[in-house]
Structure 1
Amino acid sequence: MKKTKELIQQNLKLVDVVVELLDARLPISSRNPQIDEIVVGKPRVIVLNKSDLANKKVTNEWIAYFKKSGTNAIAVNSMNGSGLDKLMTELEETVKEKMEKRIEKGMRKRPVRAMIVGIPNVGKSSIINRLTGKKSAKTGDKPGVTRGKQWVRLKGNIELLDTPGILWPKFEDQNVGLKLAFTGSIKDEILDIETIALRLIEYLCEKYPKYMIERYKLKEIEEDGLMNMENIAKNRGCIMSGGRIDYTRVANIVMDEFRSAKIGKITLETPEDLSTIEE
């Protein structure tokens, strides 16, 4: 992560605008707090990716929040390309004045140069491939696929510098780590999947009880999160010999169905949550 931070800082002078990529389901937890310091002074456009998995109403609230804070934000879906045309237009508009001044000074016209930054597994490579119409960047459903910087020519008059995902060294708030684990931004292999799934079930049963009852045919939401997990397991046939609960299997089912929005379009954070943190 230290090398990635240095890579971004070294190449910042080469770009006109920074694209900060966030997960629309958790714009607070997926935003590296070091990014403001790293890219200070550069125009920025925020992209809320995976908007197809998030609550649309809350996504619009986030867009309004960022705009009020002085940074334009765009909701995109890297899987079908929705919102990417708007992103291209926004990048050109953001640096339009700078490019016009270059021409006035007699300098030749050149492509807009942008840098894309974000934490692992937030969809950078998928977006780049959509914008280029080909597999210019490696993609994967696990964090850490992009290994080094690479310039990519996009449709239109834009060049994009891709960088590896950058996580911060330490989470001051354990809830941040949990939410990143829920969405797959931290490798499942280093986590206790059963415990993470239990925490997710507890959260969803509290915040989205209707979704959980409908998806998993629950009679009611129990106060004990483990009982809810066991009831889901029974309804999904996650039972081993002797009637024992297969916690690993039910954990994977819930995690996969949350990440694919089969439980519902769920956003884990709102602008109100950010106000509470700042207070």
Structure 2
Amino acid sequence: MTIQWFPGHMTKARRQIQEKLKLIDLTIELLDARIPISSSNPMIDEILKGKPRLIVLNKADLADSRTTEQWIAYFNKAGHAAISVDSSTGTRVNEIPVRAKQILHEMIARQISKGVNPRAVRGLIVGIPNVGKSTLINRLAGRHIAATGDRPGVTKGQQWIKVGTEMELLDTPGILWPKFEDPLVGYRLAMTGAIREQILNVEDVAFFAVKVLAKRYWDATSERFGVTEPPKDLEDADEIVRVMEDIGRKRGCLISGGRVDLEKVSGIILRELRSGSLGRISLESPEDLLY
């Protein structure tokens, strides 16, 4: 299955971002800590035109902490400031304005040298759908301002939000890109809920999820779903389906003739993966970039 999605409102959102760049001091690129590369829009460098950037790995509470540390080191080595946060609970969110001012220390120093009180830092938050931009903004602002939801496409327009007296943020709709050159990117985005389920084949996505879980987190998968026999060969489709059917039997997803309802069990697998019910799971690591 090839997953592609680029609705018209995303073309409009890209244009709106480019129009606002002259007002922006830095960009805050929000990534999903479980899939930092797959959730990074490859068009972002072109869109932002070299603006200073702070990379924020959100949903860190759902990601493998050791893998997240590896990603922080990876981005730092590449010359990007990076931090991991959990916008749902607020963990480390307050460090974002501090890191932003560190990145812009030269600009702030110039203002001070001219005898001008430094104005509030102006940041632009960018990220793919459902990565948690609105939740993060509400945390930073300390009040409910931006609409939130557990589905992509909640933020419809742009708005400025004050974060205390030292930062102003511009929220933007999530932007995907026209084509996923690597089909695995599409699957990872689908697994984490960044793409609307209405356009997906849920069984295909769950199939891929089971394959990834069996490779990286079989113990957690076995414990959560009560299955004991891992696939003998990850490249054998029948073996992956067999594991899905085992999970379905454990969860009572049966239809006439004692057959497993693969659509129903696929929904269960994806919901529990996304919610963190299987534990802290990362779906890609810096090592994957070597292959």
Shorter-chain TM-score bucket reads: over 0.9
Counterparts of 2:89 and 2:164, CA distance in 1 = 16
> What do residues 200-231 of structure 1 show as CA deviations (whole Å, max 9, x unaligned)?
11221122221121111112113310000000
Question: SS where residue 153 of structure 1 aligns?
Answer: strand
Q: TM-score, normalised by structure 1?
A: 0.95
Question: SS where residue 32 of structure 1 aligns?
Answer: coil
AA at the equivalent of 1:145: V
Out of 271, 278, 287, which is 1:256 matched to? 271
Tell me what 1:138 maps to: 147
Tell me what 1:188 maps to: 197
> Structure 1 residue runs of 4+, over 3 Å off?
106-109
1:245 aligned to 2:260? yes
> What do residues 92-128 of structure 1 show as CA deviations (whole Å, max 9, x unaligned)?
1111220221232344532110000011100000000
Contact residue 28 and residue 274 of structure 1 kept, 8 A: no
Counterparts of 1:262 and 1:195, CA distance in 2 = 21
Question: SS where residue 83 of structure 2 aligns?
Answer: strand
AA at the equivalent of 1:7: Q
Out of 57, 65, 89, which is 1:56 matched to? 65
RMSD between aligned residues: 1.3
Out of 22, 26, 41, which is 1:17 matched to? 26
The gaps in structure 1 that reach 5 residues or longer are none
AA at the equivalent of 1:54: A
Out of 40, 53, 59, which is 2:49 matched to? 40
Question: SS where residue 260 of structure 2 aligns?
Answer: coil
1:166 aligned to 2:181? no
Counterparts of 1:75 and 1:186, CA distance in 2 = 23
Q: CA deviation at 1:241?
A: 3.4
Aligned length: 276
Out of 85, 100, 114, which is 1:105 matched to? 114
Counterparts of 2:82 and 2:159, CA distance in 1 = 24
Tell me what 2:231 maps to: 222
Counterparts of 1:116 and 1:89, CA distance in 2 = 16
What is the aligned-residue identity percentage?
50
Question: SS where residue 94 of structure 2 aligns?
Answer: helix
Q: Choose 98-107 or 26-35, whichever is displaced more.
A: 98-107
